[in-house]
Amino acid sequence: MKTIYFNKFYKSFNILSGILIIASLVFLVFKGLNFGVDFKGGTLIELRTDKSSANITKIRDSFNQMNLGDVSVKNFGNETDFVVKFEKQNSNDPQFIEEIKTKLSNSIGTVDFRRVENVGPKVSAELLRSGVIAIALSLAAMLLYIWIRFEWQFSLGAILALFHDVIITLGVFSVFSLEINLSIVAAVLTIVGYSMNDTVVIFDRVRENLRKYADVKIFELTNISINETLSRTIITSVTTLLALLSIFIFGGEILKGFSLAMILGVIFGTYSSIYIANPVLVSLKVSQRTIVKEEKE
């Protein structure tokens, strides 16, 4: 196969990544994330109307009359399916949901509540905390693992690539106000695993090549390694993306956000293994001495 000179573009893509990360951080800080009821507390109702005449405006109006705090209504897949979220949660009143249903039926006709989620403020704060801990813990565990398996220069490259993927994925969610719920946390953790997996495969090859070719500069060597593992990188990304696309298109509305986060993560993860992890090795001037020294110790 023809060699592709990935290393020619290290600089320009690093600049691009830098811009993307800064932009993501700016969005995350100033716009923030659109937290779902899991993390913000409140009530979510997925409902199906029996007539197509019910539209978002009508539903929003009737919910607004019920004094439930901030109400948001979105179409959910089918024309007759909607998701309504509002601040108020009152699960201690057993009639709370029933009353809403009755009032709604009076104004827009028969409705079926397909899903109700009611999360109190204490629980949502705990869920948010354990989500953050889970992500932090997985990053730490990856760091530890790669520290044991590789030299520190490699660990640094892999971890930077991880942060890159997680920050940009969350940045995209912030820009488009996509909802962050429990399944997004699961997706982010899986992205962490996948991105690491991809980086490790290239790094294994870099290390092997460092032993094999004493006089090739790291700038060239990373390119050789990327090329040698390229067909694997492409095939695995394609099969994973095929599976994820299938979930995204056919898996129903509930899995949309989850599979979208994963798709983004796989794309950024593949890109960052090449354009973040490897340039780090180059700028840290990794050479045969780096790994030989380590092995002597």
Partner 1 sequence: MLYFSKLRVFSVLIFTLIISYFTISNFTKVDDEFFSKNIKLGLDLQGGSYLLLEIDNEPVITQRLQSKVLEFKKFFKDKDIKVRNFVIEDKSIIFDVENSKIEDVKSLLDDDKSEINPYFQQYKSHQFNFENMDTSFKLEFSDYGLVLLKNSSLDQAIEIVRRRVDEVGTNEPNILKRGNDRILVELPGLDDPGRIKSLLGKTANLTFQFISSSSEESFGTEKLSFEDGSSEAIVSKRIVLSGDNLMDAKPTMNNQTNETVVSFSLDRVGAKKFGKATSNGVGKRLAIVLDGKIISAPEVREPIIGGNGQISGNFTFQSATDLALLLRSGALPAPLNIIEERTVGPDLGKDSINAGIMSLIIGFILVVAFMFYKYRFFGLIANLALISNLFLLVGILTLFEATLTLPGIAGIILTVGMAVDANVLIFERIKEELKNENNSIVAFDSGYTKSRTTILDANITTLIAAVILFFMGSGPIKGFSITLGVGILTTLFSVYFIARLITAYYVIKNKHKERLI
**Which listed residue (194, 268, 271, 275) binds partner 1 by CB under 8 A?**
194
Task: Give the separation between CA 20 and CA 271, rounded to whole angstroms.
Answer: 13
Task: Give the separation between CA 273 and CA 201, rounded to whole angstroms.
Answer: 9
Residue span binding partner 1 (CB under 8 A) among the ranges 63-71, 103-111, 191-199, 274-282: 191-199
Residue 44: its H or E element: strand 42-49
Residue span binding partner 1 (CB under 8 A) among the ranges 18-26, 65-73, 114-122, 276-284: 114-122
**Which listed residue (122, 215, 296, 297) binds partner 1 by CB under 8 A?**
122
- Any idea which residue has 């199906």 for tokens? 48
Q: Are 68 and 141 in contact (CB under 8 A)?
A: no
Paired sense of beta strands 42-49 and 111-119, if any = antiparallel
Helix, strand, coil percent values for the chain (each to nearest 5): 70, 10, 20
Question: Is 272 a binder of partner 1 (CB under 8 A)?
Answer: no
Cα dihedral angle (128, 129, 133, 135), rounded to 10 degrees? 10
Looking at the Cβ atoms of 12 and 246, the one nearer to partner 1 is: 246
Question: Is 3 a binder of partner 1 (CB under 8 A)?
Answer: no
Question: Is 4 a binder of partner 1 (CB under 8 A)?
Answer: no
**Which residues face 78 on adjacent strands?**
76
In angstroms, how far is CA 52 from the centroid of its own chain?
34
Closest CA to 131 of 39, 255, 44: 39
x/- contact string, 134-153, with partner 1 (CB under 8 A)?
Answer: x--xx--xx--x---x----
Within 36-75, which residues bind partner 1 (CB under 8 A)? 46
Question: Is 114 a binder of partner 1 (CB under 8 A)?
Answer: yes
Query: What's the DSSP call for residue 83?
Result: E
Question: Is 229 a binder of partner 1 (CB under 8 A)?
Answer: yes
- Per CB under 8 A, residues contacting partner 1 are 46, 91-92, 94-95, 97-98, 112-120, 122-123, 127, 130-131, 133-134, 137-138, 141-142, 145, 149, 182-183, 185-186, 189-190, 192-194, 196-198, 200-201, 204-205, 228-229, 231-232, 235-236, 238-247, 249-252, 254-255, 258-259, 262
